Structure 1
Amino acid sequence: MLAPPDESIANLQDAGCSFVPLEMDVKGLNPIEDLKLVRAFRRHFLELRPDAVLSYTIKNNIFGALAARLAKVPFIPNVTGLGTAFLSGGMLQTVAELLYRSSYRNLPVVFFQNDDDRDLFLKRRLVRPGQTQLLPGSGIDLLRYAAAPLPAENQPPIFLMISRLLRDKGVYEYVEAAQRVKQRFPTVQFQILGAIGADNRTAIDATEVDAWKNEGLIEHLGTTDDVRPHIANAHCVVLPSYREGAPRTLIEGAAMARPLIATDVPGCRSIVDPDESGYLCEVRSGSSLAEACFRFLDLSYAEKMAMGTAGRRKMERQFDERIIIDSYFAALGKVVTGNPEIFATAPQKSVC
Structure 2
Amino acid sequence: MNTANSSFQFLYLARLHSRKRPTVLVDAAAMLAKTIDKQIEVALVGPDEGEESKVRQQILDTGTSDWIRIEGPLQPGSTLDRMRKASVYVLPSVNEPFPMSVLEAMSVGVPVIVTDSCGLAPFIAESGAGIVSDSSVEALSAAMRRFVEEPGLRASAAAAAVGLARERFSMYAVTSQLEDVYQSLASSTAGQAPSPVQQMLKGRGGPSPTTDKLGGEYGEQSQQHHGCHDVNQFWHRAEAVAEVPALGEERVVVLNVELGFPLVLQGSAAAIWELIDGTRTETDILMELASAYSGADEPSVAQQVRNFLAGLAFHGLAASCDTPGNDGGSRY
- Taking structure 1 as the reference length, what is the TM-score of the superposition? 0.48
Counterpart position of 2:172: 322
Is 1:223 aligned with 2:78? no
SS at match of 2:96: coil
Assess, with a 3 A threshold, how the Cα gap between structure 1 residues 262 and 296 changes in structure 2: closer, same or farther.
same
Partner of 1:246: 98
Deviation, 1:314, is 1.5
The equivalent residue for 1:289 is 140
Q: Does 1:305 align with 2:165?
A: no
Deviation at 1:287, TM superposition (A): 1.0
Post-superposition offset of 1:298: 1.1
Any idea what SS the aligned residue of 1:249 has? Answer: helix
1:297 positional shift = 1.0
1:46-125 matches, cutoff 5 A: none
Q: Is the 8 A contact 2:23 2:54 kept in 1?
A: no
Query: For structure 1, which runs of at least 5 residues remain unmatched after alignment?
Result: 1-153, 198-202
Cα distance in 2, alignment partners of residues 220 and 335 from structure 1 = 53
Work out the CA distance in 2 between the residues paired with 1:323 and 1:276.
19
C-alpha distance in 1 between matches for 2:70 and 2:33: 16
1:341 counterpart = 2:201:
yes
Query: Is the 8 Å Cα contact of residues 250 and 271 (structure 1) preserved in structure 2?
Result: no
Is the CA contact 2:91–2:114 (under 8 Å) kept in the aligned structure 1?
yes
Identical residues among aligned pairs (%): 18
Question: 1:335, 1:232 → 2: CA distance?
Answer: 46
- More strand per residue: 2
In structure 2, the partner of 1:183 is 34
2:72 is equivalent to residue 168 of structure 1: no
Q: 1:335 to 1:324 in 2, by over 3 A?
A: farther
Distance 1:173 1:336 in 2: 50
- Of 263, 270, 274, the residue aligned with 2:115 is 263
SS of the counterpart of 2:98?
A: coil
Taking the aligned partners of 1:177 and 1:303, their CA distance within structure 2 comes to 20
Aligned residue type for 2:7:
P
Please report the TM-score for the alignment, with normalisation by the length of structure 2. Answer: 0.50
Asked if residue 233 in structure 1 is aligned to residue 85 in structure 2, the reply is yes
Per-residue deviation, residues 79-134 of structure 1 (Å, max 9, x unmatched): xxxxxxxxxxxxxxxxxxxxxxxxxxxxxxxxxxxxxxxxxxxxxxxxxxxxxxxx
Match of 1:297, SS state, is helix
Work out whether residues 26 and 55 of structure 2, in 8 Å CA contact, stay in contact via their aligned partners in 1. no
- How far has the Cα of 1:184 moved from its partner? 3.2
Range that drifts further, 338-347 or 309-318: 338-347
Question: What code does the residue aligned with 1:339 have?
Answer: Q
Task: Please point out which of 130, 146, 170 is paired with 1:278.
Answer: 130
User: In the alignment, which residue of structure 2 is the partner of 1:208?
Assistant: 54
* Gap runs ≥5 in structure 2: 183-193, 205-246, 254-272, 278-332
Q: List per-residue Cα deviations over 1:10-50 (Å, max 9, x = no partner).
A: xxxxxxxxxxxxxxxxxxxxxxxxxxxxxxxxxxxxxxxxx
Q: Distance in 2 between matches of 1:171 and 1:271?
A: 23
CA deviation after TM superposition for structure 1 residue 338, in Å: 4.0
> For each residue in 1:293-317, what CA deviation from the matched residue of structure 2 results, as whole angstroms up to 9, or x when unmatched?
11111112x4422220011112222
Gap change, CA 1:171 and 1:274, over 3 Å in 2: farther
Distance 1:347 1:339, change over 3 A: closer
SS of 1:221's equivalent in the other structure is strand
Distance 2:163 2:128 in 1: 11
Q: CA deviation at 1:181?
A: 1.3
Structure 1 residue matching 2:252: 3-state secondary structure: coil
Map of 2:10 onto structure 1: 159
Q: Structure 1 counterpart of 2:168, which letter?
A: Q
RMSD over equivalenced CA pairs, Å: 3.1
Letter in 2 for 1:276: G
